[in-house]
Amino acid sequence: MDASVSTRAEPAPLDHATVRTIIIGIMLAMFLAALDQTIVATALPTIGRELGDLQNISWVVTAYLLSSTAATPLYGKISDIHGRRTTLLAAIVIFIIGSIACALAPSMFALIVARFVQGLGGGGLISLAQTITADAVSPKERSRYMGYFGIVFALSSVAGPVLGGIISQSVGWAAIFWINVPLGALAFFMTYNALKKLPRHERAHKLDYAGAGLLVLAAVLLLLALSWGGVIYPWSSREIIGLLAGSIVAWALFAYRLMTAPEPFLPLGVLGDRVVASATLAGFFGIGTMVGLSIYLPLFFQSVLHMNAAASGFALIPLSVGTVAGAQTSGLIMARVRHYKRAPMIGLSISILAMIVLTVTAGQLPMFGMEIVLVVVGAGLGTLFPVTVVAVQNAVAPHHMGTATGTVNFMRALGSAILVATFGAIFLAGVGATGGVSVESLIASAGSSISLADAFRGIFAAATGCIIISFLLLLLMEERPLRGGERPTTVVLD
């Protein structure tokens, strides 16, 4: 835990050209990671057919999810020890190597292994991009750039599925991985020299290998249980119960390690900070809800509103557009006002009301009305994203910036996996399904006796509850003044 008193100095302001080069380079790196999570989905059937293994195609997604989620907090800690530039460049190189291995994979097993390697690189790109932004500009200026990052995610969520389908059918599925090579190389060379000018805040930390291993083990076991539960194995099966029990034990050992290690993997001073705790958990429920809705809304469009796959993808665009608009607006407001919590609190309140409308009228609203509701939901949720990241970064010392940002992104990824699984379980319970069955297969074979609209209503109600929890957590978050570009002296516990 932090124990000594020292002086914190803000980094010297970089010139506009350097900041612009850094931001463009890390946005490209972030786009690589975000796009790779969406472009593969529509290409999976083609990949499965050509490799002669449709049974294991879900592992192409799961392998990347496991490694990227587990690696995220590791990159944050390593960047605090060895610097952002070295760590980001290493992540880009690992991602490119994994992409090449994916493109050359001769079998499904080889592709799954390559995706795991690719995820080891991709897991650092997003959190490191946010951390580098924190090093380059002050908190007051930083919130504006978080809005730009929202555009990257929205573009990847819209363009990814479309590009994945077009490229895999016209050029071949390997091309969706080859495209990462020139883009990754461009991101590498754009940041290679520019990041040399980045202020450095490394400290002589020691990496707690035991703590890191326990965290990775706990997360991987939990993600496996959430990925397999209700799909490959029933939730009550020995396999799922065993995975959950193992995860609980690993989490308990990790907590014990945090309290007893001389320098724990996640510093207690960071985890115990009220701003960090509240903002991280608010993002856990907010991001998780957004990801859950982006996954189940297309299924709602196809099964309840009887759209085809392409139309359902386009129908999801208003949610992404609203999210970008909300994030941009919130980021600009945060840079100009003292009480920056008000924007996301108002935004989340509006999202809650819109979700109540969606829950009550599931399957009854005309399409135009549905799209308006989704814009409002996205805009409200979008206001939360820049505020939680910047508030956490504003609350910690520069030499803990990578650890704190990595923790935020790790919890967001974990929250997404947990809430997606929870929404799926609610849906299956709503239609009375038992045993190992997926939501997608159930919808494909559903008869008229199953009220799918009512089942989706349960998902929308759960999403409403999660947004309410996020609102309450944000309400509890201390609203500390954002530091400007000057060099203030503050007390730092190290």
Tell me the pLDDT of the chain (494 aa) as tens digits. 443 333 444 445 667 777 888 888 888 888 888 787 778 876 777 888 888 877 777 788 778 888 888 888 888 888 888 888 889 999 999 999 999 999 999 999 999 999 999 999 988 888 888 888 878 877 777 767 776 777 777 777 667 767 777 787 788 888 889 989 998 999 898 888 878 777 665 566 677 888 888 988 998 898 888 878 777 788 888 999 999 999 999 999 999 998 888 888 877 777 888 899 999 999 999 988 988 888 788 778 877 887 776 677 678 888 888 988 898 888 888 878 888 899 999 999 999 999 999 999 887 888 889 999 999 999 999 999 888 888 898 888 877 888 888 888 888 888 888 888 888 888 877 776 655 555 555 555 554 434 678 888 999 999 999 999 999 999 999 888 887 654 333 333 33
Dihedral, CA of residue 403, residue 409, residue 414 and residue 419, to nearest 10? 150
Coil/strand/helix, residue 486: coil
Rg (CA), the chain: 22
Distances (CA, A) of 465 to 164, 296, 359, 472: 33, 16, 11, 11
DSSP tag of 214:
H
For residue 168, give the nearest of 41, 254, 255 by alpha carbon: 41
Amino acid (one-letter) located at 197: K
Coil/strand/helix, residue 305: coil
Contact (Cβ atoms closer than 8 angstroms) between residue 492 and residue 8: yes
Token pair 């991985």 is found at: 177
Contact (Cβ atoms closer than 8 angstroms) between residue 320 and residue 366: no
pLDDT > 70: percent of the chain? 87
Global pTM reads: 0.78
Q: What pLDDT sits at residue 21? A: 82
Contact (Cβ atoms closer than 8 angstroms) between residue 389 and residue 477: no
Alpha helical stretches, state H, 40-138: 44-50, 58-82, 84-104, 108-136
Alpha helical stretches, state H, 316-341: 317-334
DSSP tag of 491:
E
Contact (Cβ atoms closer than 8 angstroms) between residue 68 and residue 122: yes
Q: What pLDDT sits at residue 6? A: 37
Q: What pLDDT sits at residue 34? A: 79
Coil/strand/helix, residue 492: strand
Q: With b meaning 16 or more CB within 10 Å and e meaning fewer, what string describes 160-178?
A: bbebbbebbeeeebbebbb
Token pair 């809304």 is found at: 297
Tokens of 301: 């469009």
DSSP tag of 6:
E
Count of beta carbons in the 10 Å neighbourhood of residue 365: 16
For residue 391, give the nearest of 262, 483, 260, 254 by alpha carbon: 483
- Beta-bridged to residue 493, according to DSSP, are 5
- Beta strands in 378-484, from DSSP E residues, in sequence order: none
CA 254 – CA 384 distance, rounded (Å): 29
Tokens of 176: 């969706």
Distances (CA, A) of 346 to 144, 340, 376, 381, 468: 19, 11, 12, 10, 12
- Beta-bridged to residue 377, according to DSSP, are none
